[in-house]
Amino acid sequence: MAEWNAYYQNEDEEQEQEEAELAGGDYKVSGRDSLVFLVDASKEMFIKGEDGQPSNFDMTMQVVRSVYTSKIISSHRDLVALVFYGTEQSKNPRNSFKHVYVYHDLDEPGAKRVQEVDALRGEKGAQLAAQTMGSGETSLGDALWCCANLYSDIKLRLSHKRLMIFTCRDEPHGGDSAKDRQARTKASDLKETGVFIDLMHLIKPGGFDVSLFFRDIVSPPEDESELGLQLEPCDKLDDLQKRVRARDTKKRALARLSLSLGEGLNVAVGMYATAVGARKPAAIRLYRETNEPVRSKTRTFHTQTGSLLLPSELKKAQVYGRKQIVMESDEVNAIKKFDEPGLFLIGFKPMEKLKLHHHIRPSVFIYPEEDNVKGSACLFSALLKKCSERKVFALCRGIFRRNYPPRFVALVPQMEEVDEGKVQITPPGFNVIYLPFADDLRTVDPPRCPPASQTQVDKMKEIIYKLRFKYRSDAFENPVLQQHFRNLEALALDMMAPEDIEDLIMPKVDQIDQRLGPLVEEFKDLVYPAGYNPETKPAPKRKTADAGGGAEKKPKVEVTEDELKTHMQNGTLAKLTVPMLKEACKQFGIRTTGTKKQDLIDALSERMGS
């Protein structure tokens, strides 16, 4: 018989399906993401920039390397390929296309591929590229056709197919209308098969004119949250990495829900996690002889007969009033179910009613799902606009998965923001703030400390004002995680030693002292007595026997027989502590098989009831 808080153990093969379970019984097991880098290998790509700036080819290889390493860490099952076009040499499946060099087929990224991309960086990388591939004629149509064959050769299920073109030539064929027509036709064929084509155009003398050719090649934005084709070329490595990261970042919904605005008025929304805590990957158990991953399975056996128990033979129970209430798993699920998953609108409140202490856990983000319910984007946009104009938030009741308890949430409007490069910083939608229940709010007695004088407060305000700076979460990396992945990278790439990391969370003492000047000493003079040294610890005071410094008194654990009978009648034996229950068992000479609280209660109940 299973306890009330015991749940069925799932097999390893069932865990992936449960993680992909969406609300409302909608199951969608996602496939793998795929990304093809199609890089221009013409001579113009190898020209260095002004003031020692790296060439466009070198910047592209750094971005490719960054994507490879990030996918190894975050999503190693994704497929990545690297293809060069406009080369003198040809290397592709069946060598069907001239001037197309497939450097990496569509496959999972690994340490060897990172090393091969590293070999193409810098001056030596440019020389190696010239020797291996060279620069020749350009046929973007053949390159796109070759990429289509790479996708067709993959037998795995692909959930997302993306192709990124890196080039600094706005007319790759030099005005050849036949090649332009062939490239447009092949790009259209690729888009019909579900491949999204993006252009990462790089800086060139005289400017890059997208309208000459590439406007008809790239795919339109997948939804309103994407900005589509960027008209300004990338002239810096940071800008190029930011654009690639924005395009390649997965946008997978945690759940798809229905936002009910009234009777018969529903909006389909997707729920997303905007920020996820970074942590070390879980350890994987390996079989020491073959080094293969070990899969664990859980089986439940009968304690008396030793026979294997099936999930249908397991039941759950709860002790209530000295009786064991047995329930089937279906009955337990029915008790846990409150309502169908979704968001139900209760009303609207002014934004000033939402306090900082109402944020009890990380928020999530909702965005309309036009594919599920037509018209959701229009109605969602109107609701977002009005809530933002009137500075109100929507109060809702939310159930985010089956058998989840209901929560009260606040939908806080968030309008779209873009940076100078027209890259989206914050998407439009609602932030879902989890609100506390009344039981979660407690009155805490503040610690009693001597109050500070107004002079001391003013001096501390000056110190705080001097130390203020604009905080950005992406400016501070976790040094433990960085060192962990640097060590793994060094082992995988056969480096002599891992790269040094800079601990960005350590305070810059010299800069702080320069900013504060004499303020610290002035504050010490106001607060601490003369000659005070905070680094010296005072000697601990020893209590004498006369001062009551003897052995500490132990709490009372004795319970009389009358008190035990009273607890038995009221069913409050569980309120006694374990030492009190043990002492009671000793008084009545009861031998117990275990030391857990429930074992002691059962033994006393059996003795007192007989």
| 198 and 120 part of one domain | yes
Q: Which two tokens stand for residue 353?
A: 């009613």
Cβ partners under 8 Å of residue 114, min gap 6? 65, 68, 69, 72, 492, 493
User: Is residue 508 scored above 60 in pLDDT?
Assistant: yes
Q: Determine what percent of the chain is predicted with pLDDT higher than 70.
A: 86
Cβ partners under 8 Å of residue 262, min gap 6? 345
| Unique residue bearing structure tokens 């019984």 | 25
Helix, strand, coil share (%) of the chain residues, nearest 5 = 35, 20, 45
Range from 256-270, 346-360, 362-376, 563-577 carrying the lowest mean pLDDT: 563-577
Q: Among residues 606, 552, 559, which one has the least CA distance to residue 578? A: 559
User: Can you give the CATH number for the domain in which 597 is found?
Assistant: 1.10.720.30
**Distance, CA of 442 to CA of 419 (rounded, Å):** 42
For this structure, is 204 an active site residue? no
Assigned domain for 308 exists: no
| 105 and 210 part of one domain | yes
Q: Which of 28, 112, 337, 422 is catalytic?
A: 28
The greatest distance separating any two alpha carbons of the chain, rounded to the nearest whole angstrom, comes to 106
Assigned domain for 328 exists: no
User: Is residue 409 scored above 80 in pLDDT?
Assistant: yes
Query: CB count, 10 Å around CB of 321?
Result: 6
Cβ 153 vs Cβ 183: under 8 Å = no
| 70 and 150 part of one domain | yes
Cβ 167 vs Cβ 74: under 8 Å = no
Query: CB count, 10 Å around CB of 415?
Result: 11
User: Can you give the CATH number for the domain in which 467 is found?
Assistant: 1.10.1600.10
- pTM as predicted: 0.61
Q: Is 342 left (phi over 0), alpha (psi -120 to 50) or beta?
A: left
Query: What is the model's pLDDT at position 448?
Result: 83
**Distance, CA of 311 to CA of 333 (rounded, Å):** 14
What mean pLDDT value characterizes the chain?
82
Query: What is the model's pLDDT at position 480?
Result: 87
DSSP 188: H
| 402 and 372 part of one domain | yes
Higher pLDDT: 246 or 460? It is 460
* Cα of 118 vs its chain's centroid, Å: 28
Assigned domain for 409 exists: yes
| 487 and 580 part of one domain | no
Q: Among residues 264, 238, 242, 216, which one has the least CA distance to residue 373? A: 264
What 3-state class would DSSP assign to 525? helix
| 166 and 71 part of one domain | yes
| 507 and 459 part of one domain | yes
**Distance, CA of 609 to CA of 607 (rounded, Å):** 6
User: Is residue 291 scored above 90 in pLDDT?
Assistant: no
Assigned domain for 576 exists: yes
What is 163-192 written as a DSSP string?
A: EEEEES-S-TTTT-HHHHHHHHHHHHHHHH
Q: Among residues 390, 431, 379, which one has the least CA distance to residue 410? A: 431
Assigned domain for 330 exists: no
Assigned domain for 556 exists: no
| 219 and 343 part of one domain | no
Cβ 164 vs Cβ 35: under 8 Å = yes
User: Can you give the CATH number for the domain in which 52 is found?
Assistant: 3.40.50.410
Element (DSSP H or E) covering residue 37 = strand 32-40
Range from 27-31, 245-249, 326-330 carrying the lowest mean pLDDT: 27-31
**Distance, CA of 293 to CA of 91 (rounded, Å):** 35
* Number of domains into which the chain is organized: 4
Q: Which two tokens stand for residue 207?
A: 């400017």
Q: What is the rounded average pLDDT of the residues 31-51?
A: 87
pLDDT category at 605 given cuts 50, 70, 90 is: confident
User: Is residue 331 scored above 90 in pLDDT?
Assistant: no
Q: What is the rounded average pLDDT of the residues 249-269?
A: 84
| 521 and 487 part of one domain | yes
Question: Among 408, 440, 472, where does a domain finish?
Answer: 440
**Distance, CA of 580 to CA of 583 (rounded, Å):** 5
| 113 and 174 part of one domain | yes
User: Can you give the CATH number for the domain in which 383 is found?
Assistant: 2.40.290.10
User: Is residue 41 scored above 70 in pLDDT?
Assistant: yes
Backbone angles phi, psi at 544, to 5 degrees: -90, 165
Question: Among 392, 407, 440, where does a domain finish?
Answer: 440
Terminal Cα distance for the chain, rounded = 25
Query: What is the model's pLDDT at position 8?
Result: 35
Strand 364-368, strand 429-434: pairing = antiparallel
Cβ 242 vs Cβ 423: under 8 Å = yes
User: Is residue 233 scored above 80 in pLDDT?
Assistant: no
What 3-state class would DSSP assign to 154? coil
Question: Among 399, 417, 440, where does a domain finish?
Answer: 440
Assigned domain for 39 exists: yes
- Give per-residue pLDDT as tens, 111-134: 889 889 999 988 888 899 988 888
Query: What is the model's pLDDT at position 556?
Result: 55
* Domain ranges, residue 405: 255-276+339-440
Distances in Å between the Cα of 253 and the Cα atoms of 116, 266, 279, 400 are 35, 18, 21, 12
What 3-state class would DSSP assign to 349? strand
| 229 and 270 part of one domain | no
For 108-194, list the strands marked E by DSSP: 158-167
| 39 and 71 part of one domain | yes
Assigned domain for 19 exists: no
Range from 238-247, 431-440, 499-508 carrying the lowest mean pLDDT: 238-247
**Distance, CA of 573 to CA of 563 (rounded, Å):** 10
Query: CB count, 10 Å around CB of 324?
Result: 9
What is 268-305 written as a DSSP string?
A: EEEEE-S-----PPPP--B-TTT-PBPPP---EE-TTT
Cβ 202 vs Cβ 48: under 8 Å = no
